[in-house]
Each structure stands twice: as structure tokens, then as C-alpha cells.
Structure 1
């Protein structure tokens, strides 16, 4: 058990806490699930990009799925081998493409014909052959939140099957492009297996049709998106997930690439915040804490549910909104949640905050971002110091 009270006392609040043993366990579960096939578990850096987190996974053998050149740099700095790094994303600047090519990473994952044209031109300029994959949009409804759905034609991601086939033929004919992989990702927080299997089958059929015209792909990238438990969700077992995908790959000699993010780190993290005081407005109860939407945005952005616990308190519960100091009505962690009576200084723990927590934090209202702490084998270490006011203004210049 992690002693949240001790951590809050040592590092103050608001605070992020990560269980590195849990992270290792989740990685091992997925790697084992795909053990019957050549595979690469490529951690989705956007879920939690702390260098210590990436480095911990790199030491276990993970690759990195990156959606900015900054994430590519983080992955390299954290020890991920360049041949295990994928650079994805809808919009890549020319300088980002150039840096990725000169860094000689595994491949660039492309999302449009226009982007492929830029990569081809820059590769020609550099005198290299760019290893690429193309993101295919299989038009499958992932049955998830619309903001994190990515596999429908109405979403901005990828290209349709026919366009993808044409682009692969074009890339195969180019002296500056080397089409080595194919990619799809239908959404995040997926809790139903059938849409994943259906998407894999569609994309696998495309791979077979390409093989028939002598275009042989090496990497079959299934994206990420495996859901976790925030409340009472029934999630997909890693073995079932792997078997559903592998069942679509008969006759194909490909390395399966899986890009988990939330699945690896989501339930490995907690957000700690302290009660400042309570207030009641005509019967409406508010528990005001020192953390805010700038620290953990998911409840405000997605109306996302996170389990909330007041450490050491129980009984006499009544409904309350847990809110922060930011000057926005959207600044809340939970609404109408049964809570025991609280007092100033009580510690509140927001569960399942390891993914899309700190990485989406901001300095809104000139609020320094929290510290981050890792717990591994009973050992505690600070992996990011709390920001100071001086950190916030360091790059600003006054015009006098």
C-alpha cells in the first residue's frame, strides 16, 4: 500500500504519484499476450511523458509512439532505441520531418497524401529513403467518447482503404520512400473487443492485397486504446485482445506493433490534493481543494469520472461537488459525489490519474504545476520538482 499521507507531507499538494511496479506489471501483461508472435510494445508517450516513466519502460524493452518531435526527443533522451521509435501525428512541420529522418528512427506514420509528399521531398533533399507507414481509417465505430474516437471517416485521422492502397503503390514506386508498415487506431478507452477485431480484419485484408502486388509490409501497427477501470467498466483482457488481432493475420509474416498508453499508466497514478474548506450555497455543498482543472483537466474536458477518496474519513456522507480555486465554473474534479464531512487539511485522492493528467496540465491562473513522485519497490523518488513562480516567468520579458 502506498502511504499517501506521508507523500503529501513530504512533497506537499497538489501532487502526482505513480506506482512504477504497476507500470511494469501492465507492460509485462501485454508483452506476454503477444508472445506467440513477433511484437513491439510501443508506449504512447502522450499518455504520460515524464522522462522517468519513459525510461522505466525503455528498460523493460518498450518502444515509443510519439506524436511530436518533442516526444521523439524525450524518447531518445530516456533511452528508447531509435529503431523502436515511431513518429505519428496528423500535422508534422518540415523541420520536424527533417529531424525525424536524420534521427533515423524506425518509421514515420503518415496520415495524408499531402504529408507523404512533404516527407518524400525532404527525404530527397537529405538523400535518404524514408521508412513510412500509412494510417488507415477503417470507418469503425469504437463505441467510446466522441472526443477520443479516431476510426470514423468524420474524424481527422488517417485515410480510407482505397486511398491507402493508392498511396502504398505510389510510395513503393518512389526512390525516396520505403513503405514498411501499416497503422490503424480507432479510439481510446476501448472496452468492446468486436470493433478492434473488425478493424484489424479490414486492415489485414488490405495488407494481403498489397502483398499480391509485391508490396510487402513488415509492421502491422494496431494502435492503442485499451480501456481501464475508472468506475465499473468491464475491460478487455490482454490475452483476448491479442488473440482477436492475431486471428486476423493468417498467412501474414508481420511484426505486431501495439501502442498502449492509458492501459500502462492510467491506473498506476493518483492525484493528491488537500481540502481548503467547505461552503454551502442554499443547500448545495462544495468541497474546495488546492488542486484545480489546470492540474487535472479530464473531468472538465470530457466530464470524465475519477473515483475520489477522502483519506481516513467515512460515514455521514452527503453529496458534494469537489472544486478547485481556478476562476471557471468548469473547475471541478467530481459533481454530486457522496462524501463524508471534511475539514481543512484533509487529504483527497483522485484515482486513475496516471494518464492524461500531468501531461495536460497548464499554468492557467499563474498556477505552478505539481510535483511528480515515483514509488518502486517501496522506494520513493521525486521525478519532477514542483514548479515555482520564477519558473513560470523565466521566459517572459517586460516592455518598459
Structure 2
């Protein structure tokens, strides 16, 4: 839904601007999860631990320190304390509801590493979750190899999802040999046959889970994860056959867990309630059949309110983390009590909710692109075409108070006629340039006058977008915000400073790739999603930084190397009360160099450098390049190979 921002850019330019106005415009508190807010000085402030509101980090201080360290933008900034806070919040919410409800099972959550496989992220989550016995989930062989090395808490669970081959099964049984609670979740019946065969061969008892293909469907982009056409899971008949197969092979004691998952980013709490009720009923029936399961795994799906609307839109959710947890605990308890079966231990795989808030991308605006930016002499000439005169007369009509609608219609028609006439060689290139320049002058004047109108025709409302600027950002959408391009995911984008000033320029954002899709034109604003966002006029010789938030889930690991733009530099932030700025940079992780990305694409940079040096040497030997200059060009080429892939 398109929003118009005359209120900010035009209509109330004389009204006083406040921090509250900035908060309403950018909705920071609504999507910020208690971690982000507009500070009194107009800079974004970060509260890494909402339970300690005295400790606030000014994002400008972070930017200044990054500059002092010589780290080139764009950068990914990770607030590790936010990761720890989210792990604690989720586990405490389950513990509170379990205790309050009289639930007899425990909560044994796991973090699905596919959401963000970065080592530093996984290490932080494992450490923060140790006191809660919070484990990990792996969905591939490579992830399992990582999990075996990092999830060393023998009291926590390791859940294995996804399709598995024999080597995958053997790795899982190695984990069992090491004393880990590794549960292999069976996605199709043939996997169970293979697992039983290998387990008997190695004489190791596996822990086995069965994934149910639910009839309930989630709501949102990933609703196809449930239902009859779901990619993963067993039908009810297959679940019963699997349990009986284990019974026949004297391994029924290895059946430990029932798993279900109806989709990521669940937008509607009703789908959670329905799935929990169905999953609990399957558990209860299996228990009464003699299959005494220890765990119910409710899968992922705990959503993030990306747009702050608290709705069922695809970028939001109509519930809180606390409500989600309460519905899981009380929903399973209710069914178990009615069916008179023991309460199971509870497992969830809430990766998005754990990681999304902790990471953001900070970059600077490096330029502005405007539709009506050209300066061109439109002075009248004796023999100019009638279309030029007609367009010029519309400016006079506007000055005399002519109808805005009529002027808009005539100007649009003359511009179309001029383009056709140019193709027929009736209008010259110089005349076409005059017509286009006059057209944009008229549209700009119309746009200003529309601010005072009570009613604006729909087609004229498009001027707000047509006249908006494009701010050129030093980053790649395909590397750092893949979901905005691939699935139209909305990620909050805001200026990081000057929010105590009125933003007067409506903009969309474009990146530095050579691709028309390299843009962001969906923004979280006041009460909806807009294709432009008000930002501030760029000042000469002054950096203007923006931040893109909630990028910690999936965006860090899904980026591609379009135009060979590689991974970003990373800065890891820890809060620290005794520091004057309440933080310190704990680690800097260098992003991809040109050398790195070329090597991935099967180039050999040392050979390339040698080839270019030979070409330069030939020019030197012919006297076309001086020797000293040749050395400088050779060094320059080699330095570029070692450099960052983004603009300096």
C-alpha cells in the first residue's frame, strides 16, 4: 500500500519537528523489539539488554570507532548482547509458563543453525544457552559436522532434520557414541530402514524422532510447509508403520520424539494453536498405543514483526513471543490432560526470533539520482516546434491559477506526443530536451501545490513517487538483503543520525550493482509499507549513514556474489558498563577481498597479476610507458586485487 508523505516534505514545513515525530515516522520502537530507539540527539540508540535501560549505545559512536579502526563501509554490525538476550527471553518465557501452568515436562529448545551458520553466532548462542541446556539443530551433513564440534553440552539436545544419507546417519551415531542426545528426525520411511540397519551394524542405540506431515497449514509466505503437499514428513499411516517397524526390530525404546513444522514466520497465532492441538493429539494417541515418546518438537515459525504493524501481513505477526510460548505450553497440556497421558518435554526451533535483531547493515549514501535533475536552457526560439511552445504555455497557466488536473493531463499528453514526434524525426533532440525539462518543472510545481489540496486524483498521487529521489547506497542488495529481492521481504531501513531534523526528501534506495533489481522500494513508515521513505538532504562533504535492520536471520548466509561483491566487513559489539560509550569492539572480521571472490569463481589472481605485469612491461620496453610509471601501475593492480569489493 503506497503512502504519501506531503505531511513531512511539504505541508507542515513550518511546524516544529521532534524526536516523537521521527519515532512515529520510522516506527523504530514497533519493530525494534525493545533494542532500538531514536535518541534525544537524533541518533539511533541501542539498548542491548532491555533489562538494563541505563546502558545505551549511540550508533554514531559505533560508526566513529569503525572509522578510527580503518574499517571500510559497508559493514555488518553484530550486537552479541542482543543474541544473548533473545536466548534468555525465549527460555525464561517457557520456564515461566511451565511453572505457572503446572506442566510436568521441561523445555529443551534448539537453535536451527541454517538461520545463521556464522561461527561467532553459533558460539554465542551455545554459550548463552548453556544454563538452559539449549541445544542446536542441523539440517545437512556440513551443519552436523559443525554441531558435533560445538554443541558439547551433554544435557542439551541436538535435532537432525532434512534428508539424510548413510554417512549422515553414521555421523549421528558418532554423536551418540560421544554421549550426546542426538535425535535423528525421520523425514521419509526409507531413512528409518537405513538408520536401523546402520545402528545394528555399529551396535549403537539411536534416538529417533518422526516428523508428522500436518493437515494444518501455516499462514504467510511458507504456508506450503504444511498440508498434503508438504516437502517433508510422514503421513499418519507412515508414522504408525514406522513405530511398528521399530517395535519389530526391538528398537521401540529408541523412539523418542514427535516433530511437526507448519512454516517459518507464522503471521497468525491461530495457526500455532491449531498445529499444537493437532500435534498434541497425535502424541497422545501414539502414547496410548504403547509408543511412549519423551518429546514433542513444535518446530520453527515464531515470527518477527518486521513492519511493526502487529498484524497478519507477511512481514508481521499478530502475537508476542510470550503469547506464542503460552499457547504451546497450555495447548499441549490441555490435550494431554484430557487424554490422560503424561506431559512431554517440549522442543522448539525458533531461529528467526533468536537471531534477527542482533545484526544490522550500516552503509553510507554515495549519491543522489533525480528524475528532474538536469539543468537545460529552455529559452524560446523563433522556429521551435509547437509542442515546446505548448509545454511552456502550461507554466504560464499554472502561474495564473489554472486547474492542476488540466495542466497535469495536458503536460502528460504533450510529453507523449513529443516522444512519438522525435521517433518520426519531427522534433529535434534539442527540442525534446526542452520539452522534458519543462515537463519536470511543471510536475514539480504541481507536486508543491497539491500539498494544499483536500482531494488529489489518484493518477496525480503517483507524482510523489515519480519525483522522489533515488539514494545510491554503497552495498549490494543481492549480498546483504537477498530476501528483499527474492521474496519481497520488508526490512526496516532508517537514517542513523539527524533524526532530530525534519526529513524533506522522499527517496527509494538503489545499490551499486549493475542490475535494475538492485534496489529497495518497500519501507516501514508510520502506519504502513511505502515505496518511498523520507530522508534528509545530503550535505556536501558530510557522510550520511543509513542502517538496515533485522538482518540477522538468513540474510547473513543467503547472499550471492552478483557483480562479484563479496561478504561485508563485520564488527562485533559487546556492551560494557565501565566504558564511557557503553561498548567495545570485541572482534573485526574482514570481508571478502577481490582476490577472494575471483578465486571462488575459478580465476587465479596471481596469474592475472603476472599477465598484467607482462603487458605493462611490453609497453615499458616499447617506450610507451616510463619504467617508474609501469611499476606504479603494476602495484596499483595488485593492490586492487587485495582490496575490498565495495566503493571506497
The equivalent residue for 2:187 is 111
Q: 1:54 aligns with which of 100, 117, 122?
A: 122
Alignment map for 1:302-341 (pairs within 5 Å): 302-313=487-498, 314-335=501-522, 336-340=531-535, 341=537
Q: CA deviation at 1:149?
A: 4.5
Q: CA deviation at 1:210?
A: 1.4
Instruction: State the secondary structure of the residue aligned to 1:40.
Output: coil
Distance change >3 Å, CA 239–CA 312, structure 1 → 2: closer
Instruction: State the secondary structure of the residue aligned to 2:347.
Output: strand
Distance change >3 Å, CA 324–CA 216, structure 1 → 2: same
Deviations 1:68-110 (A, max 9, x none): 1222232333344365211111x22332232222222511112
Distance change >3 Å, CA 334–CA 210, structure 1 → 2: same
Range 8-17 or range 215-224, more displaced: 8-17
The equivalent residue for 2:30 is none
The equivalent residue for 1:252 is 342
Instruction: State the secondary structure of the residue aligned to 1:49.
Output: coil
* Distance in structure 1 (CA, Å) of the matches to 2:216 and 2:91: 26
Range 17-26 or range 276-285, more displaced: 276-285
Q: 2:198 aligns with which of 122, 131, 145?
A: 122
* Distance in structure 2 (CA, Å) of the matches to 1:393 and 1:174: 53
The answer to whether the aligner puts 1:75 opposite 2:152 as a matched pair is no
Q: CA deviation at 1:304?
A: 0.8
More helix by share: 2
Matched residue count: 398
Q: CA deviation at 1:372?
A: 2.5
Unaligned 5+ residue runs, structure 1? none
Instruction: State the secondary structure of the residue aligned to 1:103.
Output: helix
Distance change >3 Å, CA 274–CA 268, structure 1 → 2: same
Is residue 72–residue 85 contact of structure 1 (8 Å, CA) maintained in 2?
no
Deviations 1:134-159 (A, max 9, x none): 1112122211114x641222231222
* Distance in structure 2 (CA, Å) of the matches to 1:257 and 1:328: 43
Give me the CA root mean square deviation.
2.5
Q: 1:370 aligns with which of 565, 568, 571?
A: 568
The equivalent residue for 2:276 is 200
Unaligned 5+ residue runs, structure 2? 1-45, 47-56, 99-104, 311-316, 373-466, 523-530, 576-582, 609-648
Is residue 124–residue 176 contact of structure 1 (8 Å, CA) maintained in 2?
no
The equivalent residue for 1:380 is 585
The answer to whether the aligner puts 1:136 opposite 2:212 as a matched pair is yes
Distance change >3 Å, CA 347–CA 316, structure 1 → 2: closer
TM-score, scaled relative to structure 2: 0.57
Task: From the CA coordinates, give the structure whose radius of gyration is larger.
Answer: 2
The equivalent residue for 1:290 is 474
Is residue 371–residue 382 contact of structure 1 (8 Å, CA) maintained in 2?
no
Distance change >3 Å, CA 121–CA 337, structure 1 → 2: farther
Distance change >3 Å, CA 176–CA 392, structure 1 → 2: farther
The equivalent residue for 2:89 is 29
